[in-house]
A and B are shown apart, each in its own frame.
Chain A
Amino acid sequence: DTAVSQTPKYLVTQMGNDKSIKCEQNLGHDTMYWYKQDSKKFLKIMFSYNNKELIINETVPNRFSPKSPDKAHLNLHINSLELGDSAVYFCASSLQAGAADTQYFGPGTRLTVL
Chain B
Amino acid sequence: GESVGLHLPTLSVQEGDNSIINCAYSNSASDYFIWYKQESGKGPQFIIDIRSNMDKRQGQRVTVLLNKTVKHLSLQIAATQPGDSAVYFCAENMGGNKLVFGAGTILRVKS
Chain A residues in contact with chain B, CB under 8 A? 4, 31, 40-45, 48, 55-56, 90, 92, 94, 96-108
User: Given A40-B6, A40-B7, A41-B87, are A97 and B96 neighbors across the interface (CB < 8 Å)?
Assistant: yes
Q: A99 touching B97 by the CB < 8 A rule? A: yes
Chain B nearest CB, measured from A95 CB (Å):
9
Count B interface residues, CB 8 Å.
27
* Partner among A31, A42, A90, A98 whose Cβ is within 8 Å of the Cβ of B44: A90
Could you write out 14 A-B pairs with CB less than 8 Å apart?
A40-B103, A41-B104, A43-B104, A44-B101, A45-B99, A48-B97, A90-B43, A90-B44, A97-B96, A100-B31, A102-B34, A104-B46, A106-B43, A108-B42
Residue from the list B43, B46, B99 in contact with A108, Cβ < 8 A: B43
- Give residues of chain B (86-111) contacting chain A, Cβ–Cβ below 8 Å: 87, 89, 93, 96-101, 103-104
Residues of A within 8 A of B67 (CB): none
Taking CB atoms, residues of chain A closer than 8 Å to B93 are: 100
Best-surrounded residue of B7, B44, B51 (most CB of chain A within 10 A): B44
Residue of A nearest to B5 (CB): A39
Complex Cα spacing A45 to B96, Å: 13
* Chain B residues, CB < 8 A from A4: 43
